[in-house]
Amino acid sequence: MAFAGKYELESQDNYEEFLEVIGLLNAKTDHKVVTEVVQDGNDFTWTQTIPNWKWSNKFTVGQECELVTMTGATFTAPVTMEGGKILIQFPQYRLVAEIIDDKLVMNCTTTGEKGVTFKRISKRI
């Protein structure tokens, strides 16, 4: 149950540039992000909350799952785990999430011509 818990944003790099590339030009970037992960074996519920906005996905590692992007679009993709890292290929970026020193570390790298990597580190609360 390494991922299970509640996490609060500690730091992030390249968030505004990442949002620009994926088309969320007017998204707020100065907010407190809380991520809650409920894990039951390979079944996950992953929820991110900021004031006035909530984004959640349920998935099972090792299966193709229906997921929702930050923009609200649905898509289907396999969710895998390699070396303790969750890997998901979203339509516009690849998500890699892992726990390092009891912190949730997420890296999202955009696909296509302009590859931008956004890194978010959240501390357990």
The predicted pLDDT at position 110 comes to: 92
CA distance 16 to 40: 33
CA distance 17 to 77: 25
Residue 124 in tokens: 């357990």
The predicted pLDDT at position 27 comes to: 64
Between β-strands 93-100 and 103-110, what pairing exists: parallel, antiparallel or unpaired? antiparallel
C-alpha to C-alpha distances, 109 to 5, 39, 87, 96, nearest whole angstrom: 24, 24, 11, 9
The number of C-alpha atoms within 13 Å of 11 and in the hemisphere containing its C-beta is 2
The larger pLDDT score, comparing residue 22 to residue 12, is at 12
CA distance 41 to 57: 16
- Kindly state the helix (H) or strand (E) to which residue 21 belongs, with its residue range: helix 15-22
pLDDT band with cut points at 50, 70 and 90 for residue 23: confident
Total domains in the fold of the chain: 1
- pTM to 2 decimals? 0.89
Q: What is the chain's mean pLDDT, rounded?
A: 90
Query: Residue 84 belongs to what domain range?
Result: 5-124
CATH of the domain at 107: 2.40.128.20
